[in-house]
Structure 1
Amino acid sequence: MKWGDFYGPHFVNRLRRGVKRHLSRPHRFICFTDDTRGLDQEVEALPLPEIELAEGMDDTRWQKMALFKKDLAGLSGTALYLDLDQVIVGDLEPFFTFPGKFRILRDAELFRAKPLRWVNPARRALLNSVGNSSVFRYEIGAHSHILDAYLADPDGAVRDYGISQRFQSAQLARSDDLHYWPKGWCVSFKNQCVPRHLLSFFKDPALPEGARIVCFAGQPKMEDVFSGNGGRWYRRIGDVEWLRRAWQMPENDSHD
């Protein structure tokens, strides 16, 4: 999904090329957007699905709730949803063959453990259960109860959950559909690729074994990384040519 002007069309195009390189099965690459300018011809651009958002929430991730419509632009079948600010670095086929009705990235796996969370076990358990909605697989139209629950009280959903992925996770848990990807398939660039703290001044970022998607949760963002900005004085970015190649691959590049 792409709306507004925060992400340019090159984010869509490069993600599409990464998917094409790493997914051999026949597939459609669909982008729901309010602006089709600059998109590759192989991107199937569709209008953003309409949804009634809570007051003041017109430009937030709650727009993603529309993906759970019973009738989503006449589409059907299995869909793998991907946020735009990610780099595909490995085979995507397992994301379609791994068993389960619904699979999502566990949010806590993208962040380093905070020792003080042991003080509040209930909050720790809650945060550990949240699915990160940047990478999830589902059957289109099969989870409309998530959208129905949101539309029943949009203001209450925002008030009680703050962000859409917490609300989404709560609804999935209630239907016993909240299940996660194997650990390590999706990795945080800053937390799993960059050596920790001052070690980053002696070692360059590296891709963990088994990683398939590199995510940019929090700061720094992808374009900050490519400019060498680590977001903290103690975080040196170093050589990320392997990441740059995976992100900026040419249109005619083939799988190694």
Structure 2
Amino acid sequence: MTETRTDDSRQTVICLKWGDRYGPDYVNRMYRMVSRNTARPLRFVCFTDDPTGIGDGVEVKPMPPFDLPERMRFHPFRRMFLFQETLDDLSGPLLHLDLDLLVTGSIDAFFDYKPEARFVVAENWTQKGQGIGNMSVFRFRVGELTEVWERFRPDPGAMMDLYRNSQTFVCRTLGEVEFFPEDWCLSFKHSLVPAWPLRFFVAPKLPPEARTVAFTGKPDIDEATRGEWPVRAGWKKLYKHIRPAPWIADHWR
């Protein structure tokens, strides 16, 4: 059940950028998308190892020094630092959004939904009913999930070997998590691309209830806009096909 906030404090949204997979334009677009889709005061924070090109309005924070196993340098496990007892000068509830995400509707309800919950996340589209979230979208309160960091930090490599990915590690460590409503958080590939063979004739459509659309793996946001699904093996073109989705450009700006 959604509850209405009565205070006028800023909502804090965070994103992470490290390595060169996504450039500063992704951060700037995310800031603009979030700004257009909130009716409340906003604090937008980017943790990054390179602030070059990040525009006004984005509050830049340094990524913690890298002292993890080298194979984690560009791996999502690196974001486990978010679950330490302190996180720079941030406090209270934070909404984390991945950079390969399209914001298509109001984010305010993400803060209002089940405010008592410690961790609320999009349910992973390929693991329905298994208690696993997709951490492209999640909300938590600073300093309240320290068991994640305390389990991870003594032997990061062991946790990476034990779990397929960081989101499985987090959800299994917490034991019980809450999920945002299914129609708020969609996957482009798994929610919007029509089934085969309709995808050859019908373009992906955006449902009006959607608030975010995740572009995990391929295609990237710009590729999906043009109707491109890059594949290495030629036979995969038999099913990895999409028609252009120009509505993406209406939001990704």
TM-score category of the 2 structures, normalised to the smaller one: 0.7 to 0.9
Q: Residues 169-184 of structure 1 correspond to what in structure 2 (within 5 A)?
A: 169-173=171-175, 176=176, 178-184=177-183
1:76 aligns with 2:91: yes
Q: Residues 136-151 of structure 1 correspond to what in structure 2 (within 5 A)?
A: 136-151=138-153
Q: Which residue of 2 aligns with 1:25?
A: 40
Q: Residues 217-236 of structure 1 correspond to what in structure 2 (within 5 A)?
A: 217-231=216-230, 232-236=237-241
Note the C-alpha offset of 1:184: 1.5
Which of structures 1 and 2 has the larger relative contact order (alpha carbons within 8 angstroms, sep 6+)?
1
Q: Which residue of 2 aligns with 1:246?
A: 251
Q: Residues 84-233 of structure 1 correspond to what in structure 2 (within 5 A)?
A: 84-99=99-114, 100-107=117-124, 109=125, 111=126, 128-173=130-175, 176=176, 178-231=177-230, 232-233=237-238
Note the C-alpha offset of 1:51: 5.9
Q: 2:228 touches 2:244 (CA, 8 Å); kept in 1?
A: no
Q: 1:204 touches 1:240 (CA, 8 Å); kept in 2?
A: yes
SS in 1 for 2:140: strand
Residues 1:242 and 1:227: Cα distance change in structure 2 (over 3 Å): closer
Give the alignment's TM-score, normalised by structure 2.
0.85
Q: 2:118 touches 2:144 (CA, 8 Å); kept in 1?
A: no
Q: Equivalents in 2 of 1:62, 1:168: separation in Å?
A: 10
Q: Equivalents in 2 of 1:48, 1:80: separation in Å?
A: 17
Note the C-alpha offset of 1:55: 4.8
Between Structure 1 and Structure 2, the one with more strand by share is 2
Q: Which residue of 1 aligns with 2:242?
A: 237
Residues 1:16 and 1:192: Cα distance change in structure 2 (over 3 Å): same
Q: Which one is further off, 145-154 or 80-89?
A: 145-154
Q: Equivalents in 1 of 2:101, 2:18: separation in Å?
A: 17
Note the C-alpha offset of 1:13: 0.5
Q: Equivalents in 1 of 2:29, 2:138: separation in Å?
A: 19
Q: Equivalents in 1 of 2:206, 2:174: separation in Å?
A: 31
When the two chains are superposed, the root-mean-square deviation of aligned CA atoms in Å is: 1.8
Q: Deviations over 1:180-199 (max 9, x none)?
A: 11111111112222211121
- Equivalent pairs counted in the alignment come to 230
Q: Equivalents in 2 of 1:56, 1:195: separation in Å?
A: 36
Between Structure 1 and Structure 2, the one with more helix by share is 1
Q: 1:78 touches 1:139 (CA, 8 Å); kept in 2?
A: yes
Q: 2:123 touches 2:134 (CA, 8 Å); kept in 1?
A: yes
Note the C-alpha offset of 1:169: 0.8
SS in 1 for 2:179: coil
Q: Equivalents in 2 of 1:162, 1:205: separation in Å?
A: 29
Q: Deviations over 1:64-100 (max 9, x none)?
A: 1011111111211110000000110011111000012
Q: Equivalents in 2 of 1:69, 1:50: separation in Å?
A: 14
Q: Which residue of 2 aligns with 1:40?
A: 55
Q: Which runs of 5+ in 2 are unaligned?
A: 1-15, 231-236
Q: Which residue of 2 aligns with 1:251?
A: none
Q: Which runs of 5+ in 1 are unaligned?
A: 114-123, 249-256
